[in-house]
Structure 1
Amino acid sequence: MSSTSGNHGSVTNSAPVVNGDSHAHADEEQPLLGGGGGARKPASKSLRKKLTTDVQRDWADLVLLACYIITGLLDSSSISIWGSFVSMQTGKIPSKPSLPTITARSFAFDSTDTEQKTGNTVYIGLGLAAPTESTRWIKSATSLISFCLGSFFFSRFHRFFSPKKRWVLCASFIAQTLLCVAAAVILTVGPVAGKDEIAWNVLVPIALIAFQSCGQAVTSRALKYNALTSVVLTSIYCDLFSDAELFSVRNAERNRRVGAPVLLLVGAICGGLFAHSSLGIAGALWTAAFLKFLIVLSWFFWPGEPTSDE
């Protein structure tokens, strides 16, 4: 009886222990049940901190140099198909495209075309002087106006939200990617237009591509690499060959000035190949969109500037 009583007593006395074990067990489960929200909160804060951090300027010129490939890709294919620049709004393309310094913008021309090809600004002037001779000036005007609007938009976007913020750079190139995709979709699923035809499926893609192309130039300003706009080469050639330290072993500025036209030439060759293939300019646009997306990823993972609490 006493044993039974003892057993009952032990059970009774051990009940708090059981309850204690129950509470301990519940405490063990608590992080699994409620800790998820606590874990997500620091993660969201960490992501927000990452996105609102300024990216480091060091080596960011490599990303800007990659943009020259995209410029060459789009300009050479658009010149070949539409006879209009979509990135470089000024420039000159001689009738003999054998010179290495101008091959990047003349690769896609038919060798039988012997007239002087000049940039969009001059195309517009020639078109206004003789508007019935060619439709090229209409495409050039569309490209130039869209480029100016894009410059207005992207510059104010960077200026308003802080130029070097990670999320700002990512958002800028996401927008550029989507505009390239939109133009590529129009050209992929839409009807095929002739080289001299003026139709919505010609003017809209030109406008979209020209609008997004200046985002690269604005990024170069935001990162203080003002020479690497990716939409002009004339000043780079001038600065390169007038550099007093042109033949120095270590000269980062010279290296950038050499890399820019070389990479644009690579892109122009690829764009010319697309233009002369069954893929056409749509293939060049899909490729450009893919490259822009890679740049978005590069900005997301790019090292950030150290903050005060680090």
Structure 2
Amino acid sequence: MGLIDFGTPRGSSSPNFDDVERQTPKPLSFTKSLELSSIKCHAFGRDLRFRHALGDYLLSEIDATWSDLPLMGCGYVSGLIDGLSYNAWGNFSNMHTGNTIFVALGVSGKPDSEPMLWAKALVAVTVFLVGNVFFVYGSRYLGPLRRFTLIVSFAIQTALLLGAALLVEEGIVSPSLDHQIPIDWLQVLAISLIAFQAAGQIVASRFLAFTEIPTVVLTVLICDLFVDTKLYQRPWSSNPKRNRRLGAVLSHFLGAMTAGGMAKETGLASGLWLAAALKALM
């Protein structure tokens, strides 16, 4: 006697219960939506806290304890740039004592070899003075010791050096003097960019209260070094101002030595690229 099958007949199209349940769309989970919302809120809150922390960090005043090191690096850049500038264009871009002398000599038509040297020097000195006004009042407005202010200052200096390097690299500005023309105004443009940025580093040295590291001149620095009654005091850590002055003199000298080597081996453009890279690191 055969078994009686009470199930669905063979060939029937009626789906079983498991298939129906599988095909029925499941309702959205309200609790899962709440979980996703809480995750988004948490992520937004974390991002907001990060922005506040970053803002506070940028607007806070720096600890100037070790800021003499980048200023001595600025001295190296000054020696490098002035060595390159004088070798290529016959006048200075950072140290404007020499440029002032050139302007004074121009009153009597000297020097004979470059009768228009006074004009280049005058533009460089004027742009340097304008740069001082810009960086002094800009720093005071933003807060001279704020991290954001110093970042902006050195970013501007870097951008100006990059501009001068690009002008020379692309051949727009000649890396040497042309004695057939009295003055090359494109060279004056590059000198002006360098002179303007030089004001930024000396202003930074003043606001950071390291007056013993002027970064763009050595004459007063050397005098102050020998005026110091504690010049020979030991140990070295007992007279940090003397150490900074010695470091600044050495950094200027090494920068000028580097300029001489690069002028012989690689050229003006590579020296300006190096100066821009160092300013960017600062």
TM-score by length of 1: 0.76
The 1-side partners of 2:39 and 2:274 are apart by: 45
Give the gaps of 5 or more residues in structure 1. Answer: 1-17, 91-118, 296-310
In structure 2, the residue matched to 1:57 is 64
Specify the alignment match of 2:222 in structure 1.
237
1:132 Cα offset (Å):
8.1
Q: Is the 8 A contact 1:190 1:201 kept in 2?
A: no
**Can you give the 5+ residue segments of structure 2 that lack an aligned partner in the other structure?**
1-25
Q: How many residues are paired up?
A: 248
Partner Cα separation in structure 2 for residue 32 and residue 275 of structure 1: 60
Deviation at 1:131, TM superposition (A): 5.9
Determine helix, strand or coil for the equivalent of 1:58: helix
Match of 1:143 in 2: 124
Are the aligned partners of 2:105 and 2:111 in contact in 1 as well (CA < 8 Å)? no
How far does residue 175 in structure 1 lie from its aligned partner after superposition? 0.4
Over the residues paired in the alignment, what is the CA RMSD in angstroms? 1.9
Structural mapping, 1:35-50, within 5 Å: 35-50=42-57
The answer to whether the 8 A contact 2:168-2:175 is kept is no
Deviation for aligned residue 1:204: 0.4
Partner of 2:203: 218
Alignment counterpart, residue 152 of structure 1, candidates 127, 133, 137: 133
Q: Which amino acid aligns with 1:290?
A: A
How much identity, in percent, do the aligned residues show?
A: 35
Aligned to 2:3: none
The answer to whether the aligner puts 1:84 opposite 2:91 as a matched pair is: yes
Q: 1:38 to 1:254 in 2, by over 3 A?
A: same
TM-score by length of 2: 0.83
Q: CA offsets, 1:67-114, max 9 Å, x none?
A: 111001100010111111111111xxxxxxxxxxxxxxxxxxxxxxxx
- Per-residue Cα deviation, 1:119-176 (whole angstroms, up to 9, x for no partner): 1111111112116831322221121111111111111111111110111000000000
Looking at structure 2, the residues matched to 270 and 179 of structure 1 have their Cα atoms a distance apart, in angstroms, of: 21
Measured in 1, the distance between the counterparts of 2:82 and 2:38 equals 57
Q: How does 1:1-310 map to 2 (within 5 A)?
A: 22-90=29-97, 119-130=98-109, 133=112, 134=114, 135-191=116-172, 192=174, 194-195=176-177, 196=179, 197=181, 198-248=183-233, 249=235, 250-277=238-265, 279-295=266-282
Measure, in 2, the Cα distance between the counterparts of 1:27 and 1:46: 28
Contact 2:214 2:221 in 1 (8 A): no
For 1:65, the aligned partner's letter is: M
- 8 A contact 1:75–1:88 mirrored in 2: yes
Displacement of 1:23 after TM fit? Answer: 4.0
Larger Rg: 2
- C-alpha separation between the residues in 2 aligned to 1:155 and 1:174? 16
Partner of 1:94: none
Cα distance 1:264–1:193, how it changes in 2: closer, same or farther (>3 A)?
Answer: closer
